[in-house]
Structure 1
């Protein structure tokens, strides 16, 4: 038995809550993972996991051992990256998940520079607006907008997305240009709905002007759970959009979208990089977080206080 492999397998089973999921993320067979954990238990003469047909739960001894295993794995990673030149050149596979518009408009175009700076990092980027199980899906981090709702995650605030209200000229020619946000509740106006991953529902947007505040729900015929599809629907004239400035800017310059209610204010949407708090933050993850923070400082700098660990996002 390779004890290092066995410890890695055990840690992944604890984090994933499943031998099957652990095997998938380790690119091993379920039988191999099971055997490694069994051999580890035999060597330690302690039951680390309680197994049933429906779930795997860590025992009290297993939980204590897991915390020590994490430190051992972290020390090994630190030892490798501390070798001559390694600390300046992080390497290895990094699995991240990011919102689709942010990937298309900001992150992916900047990847050549990231690769030039960190050529030894293999970046596997999931692109979606769905909820991701950071631990179960074995993702090193997620980039998400919105207030965090999962207190089990650690997070760094990397940006504040300034929001505005927009519509395509074709839509405004048909429905008229609303002078007040409340007009979006009228029967002749339509918004494009965005289905948030946490609830699967659209929700009203809070808007402020002087001492006046209101929430606009609007009516929609079309709703989407993907940011790129949401934007495409607005460009096609299907309704009014609420967009971060970085998504709207080029379309406004090209005359494809027109801003509405310029004298009204919307609270900015915080942008976070979230990751498991009990997992070692490797050199490759640290430089990725710093890179995202650098990019967002150009496109959507933080305007409010930083958040270290807060209650997660879409």
Structure 2
């Protein structure tokens, strides 16, 4: 084990504040991580970490060492990326999972553009709104919307989405426009998912408040719910990328905008062992580039 690799293990342990979490991130055993840090401390002749059953934290010397180590690792990574970006091109198969509506509305144009830029790349794409097991099912990367569960996956933010509560002008003329979240109880709501109990969240003052909703239709596809709302069946709450066109041309009208909750982040996520893949890095860079260049959506 090289001195540089020991530095990388130490940096991960400090940042994760746990041998177990650091081991998961690095794809190593907890015992191996502990052993290498002990060897590092012995070589330096200094205690770098304070260990307890509940917490792992750096000593003052450990913090100073971590600051220098992190700079060294960033320089090493930058140097390697500089060379590989000049001497190699992405190639091979990219197995990708993405939510159905987001993929059809956004990735349908972006994936061909990426493949034209890198002609030696092939893509296997599965559209599914469930959370796939990237490692167990053999995916290289997934696109996920919303809060990520704690895991050993690498996550890279690529864009944000807003949830828009909306209905057709015809429905609002017949049933009235809700002026507060509590009034949704008196409305027909078109609901994403199939849970027995459904709550929509709104920001009321400084707090997030959940209200129970019910209605005549549930579906696991946002475009179906959007079309049902356009037809006047009720009020729905969907990501802005699904309803932006219908809002722009007047087929839908946003309601409860003063109570709109914070948006959700869209991430590209991939397993630790794929972070060195030139193909995975190139595609995540491409997504960040494309979504960063897009003009902000209005609603």
Deviation by residue 1:178-226 (Cα, 9 ceiling, x = unmatched): 222211012xx11111117xxx566423212445653222112211122
Corresponding position of 1:296: 291
Higher helix share: 2
CA gap of 1:153–1:201, structure 2 versus 1, over 3 A, is farther
Within 5 Å, which residues of 2 pair with 1:114-153?
A: 114-153=114-153
Within 5 Å, which residues of 2 pair with 1:7-86?
A: none
Q: C-alpha separation between the residues in 1 aligned to 2:202 and 2:271?
A: 34
Q: What is the aligned-residue RMSD (CA, Å)?
A: 3.0
Corresponding position of 2:268: 273
Q: C-alpha separation between the residues in 1 aligned to 2:103 and 2:266?
A: 13
Q: Which runs of 5+ in 2 are unaligned?
A: 1-27, 33-82
CA gap of 1:234–1:150, structure 2 versus 1, over 3 A, is farther
The alignment status of 1:237 with 2:262, answered yes or no, reads no
Corresponding position of 2:50: none
Q: C-alpha separation between the residues in 2 aligned to 1:289 and 1:142?
A: 10
Q: More displaced, 235-244 or 280-289?
A: 235-244
Within 5 Å, which residues of 2 pair with 1:74-113?
A: 87=88, 89-113=89-113
**TM-score, structure 2 normalization:** 0.64
CA gap of 1:238–1:90, structure 2 versus 1, over 3 A, is same
* Match 2:189 to one of 188, 191, 194: 191
Corresponding position of 1:263: 258
Report deviation, 1:95: 0.6
Are the equivalent residues in 2 in contact too, given 1:144–1:271 (CA < 8 A)? Answer: yes
Report deviation, 1:149: 1.3
Report deviation, 1:300: 8.5
Q: C-alpha separation between the residues in 2 aligned to 1:281 and 1:235?
A: 46
Report deviation, 1:294: 2.1
Corresponding position of 1:306: none
Quick one: higher RCO (CA 8 Å, sep 6+), 1 or 2?
A: 1
Corresponding position of 1:7: none
Are the equivalent residues in 1 in contact too, given 2:97–2:126 (CA < 8 A)? Answer: yes
Report deviation, 1:92: 0.7
Would you say how many aligned residue pairs link Structure 1 and Structure 2?
219
